[in-house]
A and B are shown apart, each in its own frame.
Chain A
Amino acid sequence: MKKGLRVILLLLLCGPIALAQRKGYVVFSGKIIDVENKAPIEGASVFFSGSSEGGTTDSLGVFSVTIAARSYQVIARSLGYKYKTFRLDLTKNAQATIELERSEQLLGEVVITAEKADANVNRAMMGVEKMSSKTLKKLPTLMGEADVIRSILLLPGVSTVGEGASGFNVRGGNVDQNLVLLDGVPLFNTSHLFGFFTGFNADMVQDLSLYKGGIPSMYGGRASSVLDVRVKEGDFDKWSMQGGVGPISSRILVDGPLVKGKTSLIVGARGSISDFYMKYFPNPSLAKSKADFYDVNFKLTHRFGKNQRISLSGYASNDGFKFAQDTLYSWNTKTLSFKHNALLKGDLSHNFTAFYSDYTYGIEGQKQGLEFLWKPSIIQTSLKEELSKDLGKAGRLDMGAEISAFSNDAGSFVPNSSSSKIDKFAMSTEYTREMAAYMGHSVPIGKKFNLDYGLRYAYYQLLGPGEFYQYKLGTPREINTITDTLNATSNDVVASYGGFEPRLSFAIKLDTSFSIKIGFNRMQQFRHLLSNTMAVSPSDIWKNSNQQIPPQVADQYSIGFFKNFTNASNAVFETSVEMYYKNLNNVVDYVDGAQLYLNPTVETQLLVGKGMAYGAEFFLKKSRGKRLTGWISYTYARTFRTIQANENQKEANFGIQFPANFDTPHTFKFVLNNRWTNRISFNANFTYTTGRPITYPNGRYKIYSFNDLYDYAVETGIFPRPGLAQATYTYNGSTYSYLVAKEIKELLDGYSTASFTLRNAERIPDYIRLDVGITIDPKPGKRWQGSWNFSIYNLLGRQNAYSVYFRSSTGEINQAKTYQLSVLGAAIPSITYNFKF
């Protein structure tokens, strides 16, 4: 513990020494704001003609750039805004406020990023994808729902187990290895309707950044990727309302000033309407079913002068699902966060965040006499301080620290009515603490090189109170190898882990449009989603690292080549090839037939092993163009797991390496946005992926457990014996029947089951899907702005296999049957109307 804290303090105190300002250079600083509501724009970029220098605004809209003193054509741009360009003569240090106008016109629309055209070449980082809310809404939809996670599945390196599966996989990582931040608050479940839709409203999204590699040191806690979703702020100037009606849900969003120019509020809500029409289905089971969800977001922001603001935001999401049965699945998330950010002095800005999040999930049994309730939860409370200092020519320095407390309730099983004969089964609540400190420095080295480096130290403690088991060493963990039970009292440290997480990105610019980048990052993860099903389910439990389950550690090495081309009409084509190798240590796997629920010794069901992933992502993007924009990507990617036996566990799959469930070697995707007129645009996306791995049977066998009757009949001569059967003949159009001799005998049959061999050794058929959509934007200048989105999901109507599976009946003749399941096996049209006034 003390060692961990010392390291954190050391990290906070140590930073790179600022380099002195060079002769002939000046500092150009300022602020980029929205022309209408004067709100600062975070993440906006400033670029200078003939120079590779550039700056990005912080959360207060402030930037600072050290640059050679001369004349420049300056370009300022941000997602969702028109870019602005102006002439600037720099002879001494200068300041400016740049106002950007919201981009209502579609001309020259940027599909995925609003950075300077060659920013992808210049910056040191790679493996980063950004998307604006506008792009999100332009993509074809499933049932009219603009959807964050469905959208990022169109990016290279992002995959999923299958249609409707919850979550996503990034570069060979598991679903639980993605850190999904909604305005800085991590979410433990990102799904509505199991996994068909994302758990938060796309209308509330300002923009999103997906870090597949090159993950900045400010992020930590999950092993594979970061999806940072920023939520919009309310307008400080005028009230507006927008909404939409679709076949799955309806949405409304209201925002405006509570105190003009000072305090703004934005509130968004979305609710499913499927329950409404489910009752009209002719199938009585469906009519009694329930599948509803809602989510609500709000954000209250107050400005103190120009350089300081606070915000309070909240998010609540709820899902309930029941299919005419006695079991109700539910999951919900509630978060509340407070932020304070300010420009402290000159070019030092600070961000303070405090948040509380509660993710509760579980099952309610409603069968008469057996009513029960099982509601596990995970509650996180965090404090985080981030400092960012612009060092001028020496780049930017970020540092910060965070501390989080978690309580992870494994969910007691309790009777839920006075008549229930279920006994209570108590499960414990585990308490953990996580601390981290980080430092990151982004610095240009000469004209040719850019370096981003950082270090994060994360420290984790599993705390009492509670009972913790120790197992006999040298033998696989089982319930009967428990040697001791540790009764820890409150705040006793039961297990602790800590480690450094270095992050490094380095770019070599060979010319202004071509660069080579290399990167390395390490990530640690201290809590794991236990799921031995094909896709994660909303009732999967989270388990903390303990004495037996160490943290997962992922090391990623990557190299990228970035080259941009500009044609005669000024359209920009960005190309890149990124290759990566990822080493996953301590990945969690499961003993065959693992019992993960209501198991106080769940570590006996878990195995710890290694994983690895490698791949190459080829990307061509037309990021600017008057009519046509979009991208094409091809990804070759593999991901494997190896679970070998050791002194504390048995092996899985005979200790042989096997592909992960979501290993899809070849993926080809394209996304295009073609503007037909100023108001009408056509969108399409296409996905081809190799079928995911599956375990096929290598045979079938029967268990002769139900043959007493057959044996008796054979023994006593009942089978076989002479008998009679009906036969017929037709004469002159009439049918006559008569009896013929037919032996009475039956087949020896048994309980039929498939024999399986190596895990994931075969593959289901390849996945191909084309979606198209047409968006009609509102007429400019009108107060009521109505827009339409027509989409057809899976235009080809292809019955893509979600799975191939093997089932045998029980009864008289037990056959081995094979089935294919297609979750969305038809073309699904939808229409959505959105309005704003």
Chain B
Amino acid sequence: MRHLILFCCALFLLSSCETEIEDFKTENVSSAIVVYGEISNVDGPYNVRLNYVSAYSPYDITQFSGQPITDANVRILDGSGKETAFYEKSKGYYLSPVGFKGVVGQKYKLRIKLLDGKTIESNFQTINSAPELAEFSYSFQDATKVEDMRFPLKASIKDPKATEDYYFVKRQDFRQFLLTCPAPPPPPAPTPPCNCLCWQAPQNTQPYLLDDFLLSGKNLSLDVGQLPYEDFTNWVVQLDAYSVSKETYTYWKRLEDQRKLNGGIFDKVPAQVVGNLKCITDPSQEVLGYFMVGGLTQKRLTVDRFNGIPEAAYRKLGFYVDFNNIRRKDIPLWNCKDASFIKYNLGYSLPPL
């Protein structure tokens, strides 16, 4: 649809078709409760977050996240009737006890009792077998200019035949970055140790959604794109692939369809996307969000951007890094961990998988 708009712009010689309305604001007239929680076959702890809907205002920092709902009784029930209580780690953030872990084949549901007596429940959903990644690899694509050099990635899920399967995949990238060390002090002062190699992990909230409709039993490709070649540090791509129910897939698909609306003439009319939770004591209480249950496979791919690169490409990169000040020569630091100007600076090490 977006293409159609661009086409119209070109066809009708317009300079701009889409304009942002910066002062649009609606009062928060919704009293809906938002719940999000997950359980899988991978070690916990699992978390559940409870909060209210916030006003639709793009730039109001106080409205960035909804108000948390505290002091709720949050439990997970399994198919055998066993209940596991969560504890409130921080406001509106509830964690499962240590050692609690989902089991493939078991069904689970979430039950929340609020302070005001309202009870919210999800339906039962079963943890499917964790999906298998058929391929997760990369290659190097040389080019004349460094800007055009790429590391194309490939990833696919091996879909079992004869079953209807749905997948929800999260992606988290970890980029190693190099900063410049300050010039050493003049002798005889000893040169302090300098750590210039750290990890950055910008948050990514874009899911991949896959289904095996018309492709059952085949490898389902994930459109994981390519990485740039802007330094020779490592880059790690982590995929968390969930095998989920059709209901879960449809929920995310509807959210995605709605999030990507572009006002075009073939847009669907937006509507509230209601998940698998409802308030069983007060049907008029709107509950949004989802309790997601799925078999999970986590895998990391380390893209080595140093070894195996053609000499000529590597030399060009050297000039490129220097010319574009990739390593921030203007802010020399003894310790890259201290760089607050790097978003999501994790320091020296990656989180454990």
Contact = CB atoms under 8 A, between A and B. Distances in A.
A306 interface: no
A129 to B, nearest CB: 26
B303 interface: no
Nearest to A164: B265
Contact of A532 (B20, B36, B269): B269
12 contacts: A194-B4, A281-B10, A323-B7, A696-B26, A702-B66, A709-B351, A725-B340, A756-B270, A805-B270, A811-B205, A819-B19, A826-B14
A9 interface: no
Contacts of B189: none
B203 interface: yes
A424 B215 CA distance: 9
Interface of B is mostly: loop
A282 B253 CA distance: 35
Interface stretch (A68-76, A542-550, A577-585, A716-724): A716-724
Given A194-B265, A819-B263, A821-B263, A702 B273 contact: no
Interface stretch (A219-227, A606-614, A796-804): A796-804
Contacts of B288: 701, 755
Q: Which 8 A-B pairs have the closest CB atoms?
A: A723-B340, A323-B3, A821-B263, A818-B24, A699-B53, A810-B206, A803-B263, A805-B263
Contact of A706 (B28, B170, B337, B340): B170
Contacts of B341: 725-726
Nearest to B288: A701
B340 A724 contact: yes
Nearest to A712: B351
Nearest to B23: A818
A751 interface: yes
B13 interface: yes
A405 interface: no
B126 to A, nearest CB: 16
Given A535-B265, A756-B271, A821-B264, A804 B204 contact: no
A708 B347 CA distance: 17
A188 to B, nearest CB: 17
A799 B214 contact: no
B29 interface: yes
From B202, B203, B267, B290, name the one whose CB has the most chain A CB atoms within 10 angstroms: B203
A143 B18 CA distance: 21
Interface of A is mostly: loop
A286 B218 CA distance: 34
Contacts of A418: none
A592 B251 CA distance: 11
B218 A325 contact: no
Contacts, number: 301
A737 B338 CA distance: 17
A357 interface: no
From A534, A535, A661, A804, name the one whose CB has the most chain B CB atoms within 10 angstroms: A534
A812 B274 CA distance: 25
Contact of A701 (B10, B22, B32): B32
Contacts of B272: 592, 755-757
Nearest to A195: B265
Contacts of B11: 274, 291
Nearest to B257: A593
A94 interface: no
B30 interface: yes
B17 interface: yes
Given A592-B272, A814-B205, A822-B19, A701 B292 contact: no
Contacts of B154: none
A747 B260 CA distance: 23
B129 interface: no
Contacts of B340: 723-725, 742-744
A281 B11 CA distance: 10
A286 B265 contact: no
A746 B344 contact: yes
B8 interface: yes
Contacts of A743: 340
A161 interface: yes
Given A698-B29, A756-B272, A821-B18, A161 B265 contact: yes
A816 interface: yes
Contact of A593 (B12, B65, B273): B273
A723 B10 CA distance: 48
Nearest to A423: B214
B261 A661 contact: no
B266 A537 contact: yes
B21 interface: yes
B266 A535 contact: yes
Given A807-B259, A817-B58, A818-B21, A705 B273 contact: no
A739 interface: yes
A812 B203 contact: yes
Given A324-B3, A699-B32, A820-B20, 8 more contacts: A165-B265, A698-B26, A699-B29, A703-B34, A744-B340, A747-B65, A751-B205, A824-B12
